[in-house]
Chain A
Amino acid sequence: MTAVLSLRGLGKDYGARTAVGAVDLEVQRGECLGLLGPNGAGKTTTISMACGVITPSRGAVAIGGIDLARDPYAAKAKLGLVPQELAIYEELSATQNLRYFGSLYGLAGKRLAGRIAWALDVVGLRDRAVEQVKRFSGGMKRRLNLAAGLLHEPELLILDEPTVGVDPQSRNHIFESIRALRGMGMTVIYTSHYMEEVEALCDRVAIMDGGTIAATGSIAELVAVHAGKGLELELAGSLEITALAAAAAAHHGTVQRDGHVLRLLATGGLAPMIAAIEACGATIARIESREANLETAFLALTGKTLRDES
């Protein structure tokens, strides 16, 4: 397979602070890669460097085999970005927005008109083409945001949390659009805080934390290698004792606390963790085993949950 996106030792420093250490990542043609990570993990910085929006402090980016630093315009022409923000003009109509964004990629005349019609079809907004965007629902605006990114039919489409704040119907519409684009052979990078979105759409997942890629692989591989056996405990008694118990258990694995509930992932067996909890004087009111999944793999790798950090 050919790598549509190749990141080699890509990093970014802001003064003394390192936002992204050194990311190595390859995205193959036709695949959909999910980029998961809590806020501050460096996902958006990595994506921005990959798109040429910000200049990396080190490393290299190649899009479709073209070095971004050497030939930025040819490389960028192969890429479509759907930013996290609603990067559209609300005072203009959908068509006026797309006409402008299409011109950035050298589209004009009949070709541009054709591409606009196609993109509006993909996102299901053809019948609202001439309406002012400010009259659109949040979900429709998100769909137009997506249309603006795929107008020039890029080889690689990068979606930075494209479903933030949308209703389930629009989310489903966006999912269908992405599946349709994948059916046409488009390569997709999808970042999200929603584990189930990544599970539903992506073939492969890269988990980012602290400015580095903690792990990459298919969902099955990540679960098999990193998820381990999970346990959920509910403790009786005070929250102080629960906090003490969580701290003690953390010496033997990964612990995530939510009120009186502890979610455990043991690194060397569950018995020492439970013993440590009981040694703090905590009483276990409920105990449940948790099925290994992408969420438990993420927890094991980062010690955090996605949603709580978002």
Chain B
Amino acid sequence: MIGAAIRKDVWLLLRDRGALISLFLLPIIFMIAFGSMFNNSSDGKPRPIAVWYAPGDQRGAAIAKTLDETPGFRTELAGSADVVRQRVATEEVGAGLVVPATGPIELSIDLGAPVQVRGPLQGALTSVVMRASSSIPIDKLPPMVEARTPPGLARPLAEITPFQVTVPGNAVLFGFFIALTVAMAFVGERKTGTWRRLLAAPVPRWKALLATLVPYYLVGLTQLAFLFGVGIGVFGMRIAGSIPALVVLSMSVVLCAVSLGLLFAAVARTEKQLGGIGSVVLLVMGMLGGCMFPRLMMPVFMKQLGLCVPHGWALDAYYSVLVREGTSLADIAPSIFAILGFAVVFAGAGIALFRFER
């Protein structure tokens, strides 16, 4: 009977263009949009920095040369100090350096930009100026700082593209939208009377519930497989950790989302309630969990708040599996247990509140 329910729901889904778009196409659009937003390196090309110095000024020439030699940056000489400031103001370049013959060097940068965006650039350019001002030639200077991952954290991939973050972010965000699809299915079955027909049939009530949940669990798994497949095949996303860990994690995430759908179905009576309140709840959960803005870049309080929703745990685990080499199932077990804990709470509340005979 559950097999027949799966076939029925798959047929219904294949004929529901709206559901197909929101489950499979929208996440891809969001992945591209967010991936482009976080792509600071402008497709791997060095970032242009406007520089002006008085003709013949040796300090200015040294700074321009050092900047050009620094990976990720490119010097763009400007005709005057005002041109540098103007190009920064019109966002043609992210920052500029005005090097007068004497006195302090001006770093032209929008101080209104968030410190998370401005800080790294400000730090890097300050370092360039310091190195250029050193009396010892750059190639003779020993490395002053060497970045290393501390013991306890697996080594990350050499080059992490924004898609390593935006693919799982959007997969989790849209993966949890299966909760709405599940709840809508229950509301629809009640509305059309097919639920009444199901209850009149010689089918245990738990089986009637499973017959609605299992097909969407499989649809949810297919959705995540598709999104990660596109992530790997189209966006070049890589899996640094173990594939079984990724599979178990994805199965837990979908289970949690379907359980949340049961809870939604238990408390919502109409499609309008689901479309309004349900969507907002899922978006807020996604936002807190770091689906739209990575938790890595959030302040400590927001980072902790993100762990109040399953999305936060899921994204932490996905980040480890996708970015940190050798991440195993055991490494992400705490996150998986947390997600399963959420699933138990959602399913428990859903079963307690679900009314078969509404």
Question: Does A124 reach chain B (CB closer than 8 Å)?
Answer: no
Q: Could you tell me if B192 and A86 are in contact, using CB atoms closer than 8 angstroms?
A: yes
Within 8 A of B (CB), among A89-148: 89, 91-92, 96, 99-101, 103-106, 148
Residue numbers in A under 8 Å from B202 (CB-CB):
72-77, 104-106
Question: Does B16 reach chain A (CB closer than 8 Å)?
Answer: yes
Given contacts A81-B196, A85-B196, A100-B5, contact A91 B357 (CB under 8 A): no
User: In the docked arrangement, what's the CA distance between A87 and B199, Å?
Assistant: 12
A53 to chain B, nearest CB (A): 5
Binds A, one of B7-15, B153-161, B163-171, B216-224: B7-15
A109 to chain B, nearest CB (A): 12
Size category of the B interface is: 20 to 34
Residue numbers in B under 8 Å from A289 (CB-CB):
none
Within 8 A of A (CB), among B164-223: 191-194, 196-204
A188 to chain B, nearest CB (A): 16
Residue numbers in A under 8 Å from B192 (CB-CB):
85-89
What residue in chain A is nearest B203 (Cβ atoms)? Answer: A104
A167 to chain B, nearest CB (A): 21
B75 to chain A, nearest CB (A): 61
Complex partner residue of A81 from B5, B200, B203, CB under 8 angstroms: B200
Q: Could you tell me if B15 and A91 are in contact, using CB atoms closer than 8 angstroms?
A: yes
Given contacts A73-B204, A74-B202, A92-B11, contact A48 B4 (CB under 8 A): no
Question: Does A84 reach chain B (CB closer than 8 Å)?
Answer: yes
Question: Does B1 reach chain A (CB closer than 8 Å)?
Answer: yes
User: In the docked arrangement, what's the CA distance between A106 and B200, Å?
Assistant: 14
Residue numbers in A under 8 Å from B193 (CB-CB):
83-87
What residue in chain B is nearest A89 (Cβ atoms)? Answer: B12
User: In the docked arrangement, what's the CA distance between A100 and B193, Å?
Assistant: 15
User: In the docked arrangement, what's the CA distance between A72 and B199, Å?
Assistant: 11
Complex partner residue of B200 from A74, A76, A100, CB under 8 angstroms: A76
Residue numbers in A under 8 Å from B204 (CB-CB):
73
What residue in chain A is nearest B191 (Cβ atoms)? Answer: A85
Q: Could you tell me if B8 and A53 are in contact, using CB atoms closer than 8 angstroms?
A: no
B21 to chain A, nearest CB (A): 16
Residue numbers in A under 8 Å from B5 (CB-CB):
100, 103
Question: Does A210 reach chain B (CB closer than 8 Å)?
Answer: no
Contact with B along A221-262 (1 / 0, CB 8 A): 000000000000000000000000000000000000000000
Residue numbers in A under 8 Å from B196 (CB-CB):
48, 53, 81, 83, 85, 87
Residue numbers in A under 8 Å from B3 (CB-CB):
103
B212 to chain A, nearest CB (A): 12
What residue in chain A is nearest B194 (Cβ atoms)? Answer: A87
Complex partner residue of A52 from B1, B7, B200, CB under 8 angstroms: B200
Complex partner residue of A96 from B8, B191, B194, B201, CB under 8 angstroms: B8
Number of interface residues of A (CB under 8 A): 33
Complex partner residue of B357 from A53, A87, A100, A149, CB under 8 angstroms: A53
What residue in chain A is nearest B204 (Cβ atoms)? Answer: A73
User: In the docked arrangement, what's the CA distance between A84 and B11, Å?
Assistant: 25
User: In the docked arrangement, what's the CA distance between A83 and B193, Å?
Assistant: 7
What residue in chain A is nearest B3 (Cβ atoms)? Answer: A103
Residue numbers in A under 8 Å from B191 (CB-CB):
85
Q: Could you tell me if A52 and B11 are in contact, using CB atoms closer than 8 angstroms?
A: no
Contact with B along A54-90 (1 / 0, CB 8 A): 1100000000000000001111110101011111110
Q: Could you tell me if B200 and A53 are in contact, using CB atoms closer than 8 angstroms?
A: yes
Within 8 A of B (CB), among A276-293: none
User: In the docked arrangement, what's the CA distance between A48 and B196, Å?
Assistant: 8
Q: Could you tell me if A88 and B16 are in contact, using CB atoms closer than 8 angstroms?
A: no
Listed residue (A83, A91, A104, A148) with the most chain B CB atoms within 10 angstroms of its CB: A104
Given contacts A81-B196, A85-B196, A100-B5, contact A91 B203 (CB under 8 A): no
User: In the docked arrangement, what's the CA distance between A101 and B199, Å?
Assistant: 12
Within 8 A of B (CB), among A32-55: 48, 51-55
A194 to chain B, nearest CB (A): 20
User: In the docked arrangement, what's the CA distance between A86 and B197, Å?
Assistant: 10
What residue in chain B is nearest A99 (Cβ atoms)? Answer: B4
User: In the docked arrangement, what's the CA distance between A148 and B196, Å?
Assistant: 13
User: In the docked arrangement, what's the CA distance between A42 and B9, Å?
Assistant: 34
B219 to chain A, nearest CB (A): 15
User: In the docked arrangement, what's the CA distance between A91 and B192, Å?
Assistant: 13
Residue numbers in B under 8 Å from A86 (CB-CB):
192-193
User: In the docked arrangement, what's the CA distance between A148 and B201, Å?
Assistant: 11
Q: Could you tell me if A51 and B12 are in contact, using CB atoms closer than 8 angstroms?
A: no
Given contacts A53-B200, A103-B1, contact A91 B194 (CB under 8 A): no
Q: Could you tell me if B201 and A104 are in contact, using CB atoms closer than 8 angstroms?
A: yes
Listed residue (B11, B191, B199, B200) with the most chain A CB atoms within 10 angstroms of its CB: B200
What residue in chain A is nearest B4 (Cβ atoms)? Answer: A103
B358 to chain A, nearest CB (A): 10
Contact with B along A193-215 (1 / 0, CB 8 A): 00000000000000000000000
Residue numbers in B under 8 Å from A92 (CB-CB):
8, 11-12, 15
Q: Could you tell me if B201 and A76 are in contact, using CB atoms closer than 8 angstroms?
A: yes
User: In the docked arrangement, what's the CA distance between A52 and B204, Å?
Assistant: 11
Within 8 A of A (CB), among B328-358: 357
Q: List 26 A-B contacts (CB under 8 A).
A: A48-B196, A75-B202, A81-B196, A81-B197, A83-B193, A83-B197, A89-B192, A89-B194, A91-B11, A91-B12, A92-B8, A92-B11, A92-B15, A96-B8, A99-B8, A100-B7, A101-B201, A103-B4, A103-B5, A104-B4, A104-B197, A104-B198, A104-B202, A106-B202, A148-B197, A149-B197
Q: Contact residues of B with A, CB < 8 Å?
A: 1, 3-5, 7-8, 11-12, 15-16, 191-194, 196-204, 357
For the complex with contacts A73-B204, A91-B12, A106-B202, 12 further pairs of A-B residues with Cβ separation under 8 Å are A76-B200, A76-B201, A81-B200, A84-B193, A88-B192, A92-B15, A99-B7, A100-B5, A103-B4, A104-B1, A104-B4, A106-B1
List the 8 shortest-distance A-B pairs measured between CB atoms, nearest first: A85-B193, A103-B4, A87-B193, A104-B201, A73-B202, A76-B202, A81-B200, A51-B200
